[in-house]
Amino acid sequence: MVCTVVVGGFWGDEGKGKIVSYLALRDKVKIGVRGGVGPNAGHTVQYQGETLRLRMLPSALVNPKTRLLLGAGVLVNPARFLEEVEAFKVKGRVGLDPNCAIIEPKHLEADRSEHFSGKIGTTGTGTGPCNSDRVQRKAKTAREIPELQEFLSDVASEVNEALDEGENVLVEGTQGTFLSLYHGTYPYVTSKDVTASAICSDVGLGPTRVDEVLIVFKAYVTRVGQGPLPGELSQEEAERRGWAEVATVTGRRRRAAPFNLELARKAVMLNGATQAAITKLDVLYPECRGADSYEKLPEEAKAFVRKIEEALGIPVTILGTGPEALQIVDLTKRKA
């Protein structure tokens, strides 16, 4: 039995979806459960020639034997949830907690207000206003929505019982450490805490049940919207380096900066991370593209990985060498 929590190390967009999908396949995960905020997070997974863009469902869906759950802390847009269930044909293996709060049309409207869209740079998905209503005990919950009744499940019990039975459980977070309402670059943050402790709380896991916290970093740093970004490059320089990206949910340009060891160290501390993954190594070092073993990496890339390990004090166990779920260098196999 292994319970692994996957969390973002910077401001989101680190490639958590890719890492989660790989782990779901490698570890034959029984349950993939999502914590985090709601449909303001977009995870993109490429697998077997398909590109899956997810806003509600866990990225573990690539494993057809994995049960997919949404913890009580997740905000649900019913239309988006049902759309994904139908699109990805996963109806028989999806569950959501009755206590998930519901994003209503009024929340979408409020999210377009100047306070949210102007000052903070919101995604416009209604999550901030919905969380505000939840704190005030005014939000509707999934148990009140007729079309969600067939999906309701006591998620905390399901997850803990699976661990009791010796099954592998994968807990997927959203956003990134420095978008945390408490530990991030306030006020340019999301509407709740998104560090590993909060993700566990979202799904009903006590701290003693977690075996590994895998923190995901991109080989460079990106951020969408407003707020500080140390070492930020000009758009022209980001494009020259091949770091210019577009956000999955909003379509906004991502701002870019070089990998930041100081921020990474703090993120490891805040999350109690036990291991790290580095994605898009192939963007930083194109020779890495498609590599499936450590030996195939150029020396410059190996030195980059060693530098991060030494600075963070935890092992780097997974390297992303392309967009596809299985374009991975798995260092756990090398070190086994």
Q: Give, for 236, the enclosing helix (H) or strand (E).
A: helix 235-241
Q: Tell me the CA distances in angstroms from 45 to 61, 68, 325, one per residue in order.
A: 10, 15, 7
Predicted local distance difference test score (pLDDT) of residue 336: 41
Answer whether 300's CB lies under 8 Å from 285's CB: yes
**pLDDT tens, N- to C-terminus, the chain (336 residues):** 799 999 999 999 999 999 999 999 999 999 999 999 999 878 888 998 889 899 999 999 999 999 999 999 999 999 999 999 999 999 999 999 999 999 999 999 998 875 555 556 667 889 999 999 999 999 999 999 999 999 999 999 999 999 999 999 999 999 999 999 999 999 999 999 999 999 999 999 999 999 999 999 999 999 998 999 999 999 999 999 999 887 666 667 889 999 999 999 999 999 999 999 999 999 999 999 999 999 999 999 999 999 999 999 999 999 999 999 999 999 997 644
Q: What Rg value do the Cα atoms of the chain yield, rounded? A: 19
Predicted local distance difference test score (pLDDT) of residue 42: 80
Active site members: 13, 43
Answer whether 180's CB lies under 8 Å from 189's CB: yes
Predicted local distance difference test score (pLDDT) of residue 50: 87
Query: Cα(163)–Cα(166) distance, rounded to whole angstroms?
Result: 5
Answer whether 193's CB lies under 8 Å from 133's CB: no
Residue 80 buriedness (CB in 10 A; 0-12 / 13-18 / 19+)? middle
Predicted local distance difference test score (pLDDT) of residue 41: 79
Domain-wise residue ranges, the chain: 3-335
Predicted local distance difference test score (pLDDT) of residue 115: 54
3-state SS class at 303: helix
Please state, as a whole number, how many other Cβ atoms lie within 10 Å of the Cβ of residue 309: 17
With a CB cutoff of 8 Å and minimum separation 6, the contacts of 322 are 282, 289, 290
Predicted local distance difference test score (pLDDT) of residue 251: 66
Whole-structure pTM value: 0.94
With a CB cutoff of 8 Å and minimum separation 6, the contacts of 49 are none
Answer whether 172's CB lies under 8 Å from 32's CB: yes
Q: Spell out the CATH class of 3-335.
A: alpha beta
Predicted local distance difference test score (pLDDT) of residue 121: 61
